[in-house]
């Protein structure tokens, strides 16, 4: 079973705390603004329902999945809901392997070269560099220098539209964007404004 192709732009909207009843309207705003990757973290009630709702209505070229996926059972639950992406804050070989067995795009969290190589050996599609605020562009650049050429490196944590360019210069190939883009109760107009700012900032790095 082949894994999904990563859509462009490689910007992940992390919808932590997403209210299930708002899932469709929030996702629609993000897709209209140009986002094509949506992650709903599992450590909030209603996450699986939100993933299912978004997956059913997402554009054909979108990638929808779960975040904070800590066990193989999490992988199975997200896959059953229609999610095709696994995102975790840590490097757990069993979780990565289960995601790949299910044909899912796997983005485990790493913070050191040791974790990065372990994640790649387990089958990671890309590496989520977390927490990005601690690692910094200099840390990413150093890590990229020892990893296999072409390894996807996605900083997550504290990312803003203005910070995309320095990260890209250091070797970042995508980003996970959380509270800078979405918070529970945030107005749809504000989500739209910020989402478009991120898409434009990414385009300016190309």
Residues marked active site are found at: 39, 128
Other CB atoms within 10 A of residue 49 CB: 15
CA distances from 4 to 61, 106, 121, 133, 192 (A): 10, 10, 19, 29, 26
Cα–Cα distance, 86 to 37 (Å, whole number): 12
3-state secondary structure of 31: helix
Tell me if 82 sits within 8 A of 90, measured CB to CB.
Answer: no
């Amino acid at each position: 079973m082949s894994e999904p192709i990563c859509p462009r732009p490689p910007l992940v909207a992390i919808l932590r705390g997403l209210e299930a009843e708002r899932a469709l309207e929030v996702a629609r705003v993000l897709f209209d603004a140009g986002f094509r990757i949506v992650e709903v973290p599992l450590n909030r009630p209603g996450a699986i329902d939100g993933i299912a709702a978004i997956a059913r209505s997402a554009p054909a070229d979108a990638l929808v999945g779960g975040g904070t996926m800590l066990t193989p059972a999490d992988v199975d639950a997200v896959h059953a809901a229609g999610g095709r992406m696994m995102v975790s804050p840590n490097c757990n070989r069993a979780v990565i392997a289960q995601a790949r067995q299910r044909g899912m795009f796997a983005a485990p969290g790493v913070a050191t070269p040791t974790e990065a190589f372990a994640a790649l050996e387990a089958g990671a599609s890309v590496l989520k560099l977390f927490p990005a605020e601690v690692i910094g562009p200099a840390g990413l650049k150093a890590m990229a220098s020892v990893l296999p050429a072409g390894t996807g490196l996605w900083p997550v944590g504290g990312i803003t539209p203005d910070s995309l360019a320095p990260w890209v210069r250091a070797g970042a190939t995508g980003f996970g964007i959380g509270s800078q883009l979405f918070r529970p109760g945030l107005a749809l107009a504000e989500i739209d404004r910020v989402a478009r700012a991120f898409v434009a900032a990414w385009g300016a790095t190309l």
